[in-house]
Structures are given as C-alpha cells and as structure tokens.
C-alpha cells in the first residue's frame, strides 16, 4: 500500500495544478449534468467516463506525453464502459434482492394499498413496518449479508475500469481479471480502501471541502498505481488472468 501511495502522490505533486483543475471541472460538469433533464439520468455514467480520464492521463504522464485532452479519453470507450456498467449493476442485483426481500414490508404495502389509505398514512405505516423488519433477526442478518456482498463486489472490480481504458481489455475480461487479481489479496485491498476513505473524509472535513480537490484525484491515482504495479510491471500476469477470463 505504501508504494501505491508514494507513487500516486509523486504523480499528483508533479502536476498538481492540472489534476486540481480537472477535478474542479469534473465537479462542475457533474453538477451541471444533474440539472439538465434527461442527462441527469445519465450523470453516474458520464462521471464514470470522466473518471476514466484520470487513468488515461496518469498513464501518459509516465511517458511525458500527457495532454489535458487526455482527461476526456474515457469518451473513446463509451461502449465497453457502458457494458461494464450494465454488467456491474446486474452483479449487484442479488444484494438488493437479499436486502429488500427480507426487509421491505411487501405484505403491509399490499394491504395498505388495498385498504384505501391516503399517501401520508401509507408512508407512516410503511415506515413503521420497515423499521420493525430491519430490527428483526432476519432483517439484521439480511442487511449484514447484503453489506458484505456489496463490499465484495465494490472492491473486486476496482481495477476493471483501468483494465478497459489502459489495458484495452473488453468489458467482461476486464471484470474477471480484476476479480481474480483482487481476490488474491482481498483483505489488504479492503483495508487500503477503508483507510483511503477515512483519509479523504478527514481531509474534506478539516479543509471545509477544499481538500477534496486534492484527495479526489489522489484516490484515482492510487487505483492507477495498483493497476500499474500489478500489471504493467508484469504483463505475463495480466495475460494469464485474461486467458482464464476468456
């Protein structure tokens, strides 16, 4: 982890003005998109495309060929990133089924609707039923299982995006290669992401949000260094994992 942080910070420090500038632009574009009808439904996907630019720029930065336009390079991978996004959401579905299948008060919902209650009463009764279900043994267990599942999925596929835009893998091999790679060191990866999350939160709070302009690109650069040090220094490992995925 220390090598990832050290290399990521070195890249960020070398061109901190560029990274901070693009991060600010990232937030501005994201905010504008959420206010535009229709496009606001695509905001998460557009943010994913913009986020991919951090990986592309960092990759070219190593060869001193990076240009600001490289931050928008993710838009050259719209189809594979879209397919990755759809697949990722499908993979998340079992977690939502586990969570809502045991917690959401479907029976109460149906009985309330058929009873002809007005909207405020429906919301109040549903809220009470939902809290009761969450506090039950089955509710606690299902919530715990769902959280563990979401954590597993979220951590397992953190390298999929750089594998698509830098490694030039298709969406499915990228997903599988990332899962297999992270699976070999899952616990250290979870600990690292937890510490990064805490660090970013502290930096954001202490600086009243200004620190996020540095912490945000730092997060992407750490992910890039994970990719770079795992695969770029050992192409044979990525080739082996890709063959398994296919």
What per-residue confidence (pLDDT) applies to 236? 46
Per the structure block, which two tokens stand in for 66? 């990076």
Average pLDDT of 7-32? 96
Q: Does the structure show a pLDDT above 90 at 173?
A: yes
Average pLDDT of 165-173? 95
Of 199, 179, 187, nearest to 91 by C-alpha is 179
Instruction: Provide the mean pLDDT of the chain.
Output: 87
Average pLDDT of 23-41? 90
Of 79, 86, 16, 89, nearest to 52 by C-alpha is 79
Quick one: what percent of the chain has pLDDT higher than 90?
60
> Is the separation of the CB atoms in 108 and 129 below 8 Å?
yes
- Other Cβ atoms less than 10 A from the Cβ of 127: the count is 11
- Better pLDDT: 32 or 39: 32
Please state, in angstroms and rounded to a whole number, the distance separating the CA atoms of residues 153 and 202. 25
Please state, in angstroms and rounded to a whole number, the distance separating the CA atoms of residues 82 and 40. 16
> Is the separation of the CB atoms in 132 and 103 below 8 Å?
no
pLDDT per position as a tens digit, 92-127: 999 998 887 777 766 666 666 666 555 566 667 677
> Is the separation of the CB atoms in 58 and 79 below 8 Å?
no
pLDDT per position as a tens digit, 179-215: 999 999 899 899 988 988 898 888 889 888 888 999 9
* 41 — pLDDT class (breaks 50, 70, 90): confident
What per-residue confidence (pLDDT) applies to 154? 93
What per-residue confidence (pLDDT) applies to 57? 97
What per-residue confidence (pLDDT) applies to 150? 95
Please state, in angstroms and rounded to a whole number, the distance separating the CA atoms of residues 205 and 184. 34
Of 43, 40, 39, 52, nearest to 78 by C-alpha is 52
* 136 — pLDDT class (breaks 50, 70, 90): confident
What per-residue confidence (pLDDT) applies to 121? 64
Average pLDDT of 83-91? 96
């Amino acid at each position: 982890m220390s090598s990832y942080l050290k290399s990521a910070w070195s890249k960020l420090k070398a061109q901190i003005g560029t990274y901070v500038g693009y991060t600010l632009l990232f937030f501005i574009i994201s905010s504008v998109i959420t206010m535009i009808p229709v496009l606001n439904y695509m905001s998460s996907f557009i943010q994913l495309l913009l986020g991919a630019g951090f990986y592309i720029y960092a990759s070219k930065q190593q060869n001193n060929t990076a240009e600001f336009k490289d931050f928008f390079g993710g838009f050259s991978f719209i189809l594979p990133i879209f397919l990755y996004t759809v697949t990722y959401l499908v993979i998340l579905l079992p977690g939502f089924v586990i969570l809502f299948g045991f917690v959401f008060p479907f029976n109460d919902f149906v009985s309330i609707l058929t009873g002809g209650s007005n909207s405020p009463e429906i919301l109040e009764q549903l809220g009470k039923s939902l809290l009761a279900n969450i506090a039950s043994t089955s509710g606690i267990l299902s919530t715990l299982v769902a959280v563990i599942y979401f954590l597993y999925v979220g951590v397992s596929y953190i390298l999929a995006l750089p594998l698509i835009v830098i490694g030039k893998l298709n969406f499915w091999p990228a997903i599988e290669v990332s899962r297999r790679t992270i699976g070999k060191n899952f616990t250290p990866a979870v600990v690292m992401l937890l510490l990064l999350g805490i660090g970013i939160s502290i930096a954001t709070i202490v600086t009243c949000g200004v620190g996020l302009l540095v912490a945000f690109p730092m997060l992407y650069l750490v992910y890039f260094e994970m990719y770079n040090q795992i695969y770029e220094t050992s192409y044979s490992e990525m080739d082996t994992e890709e063959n398994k995925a296919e």
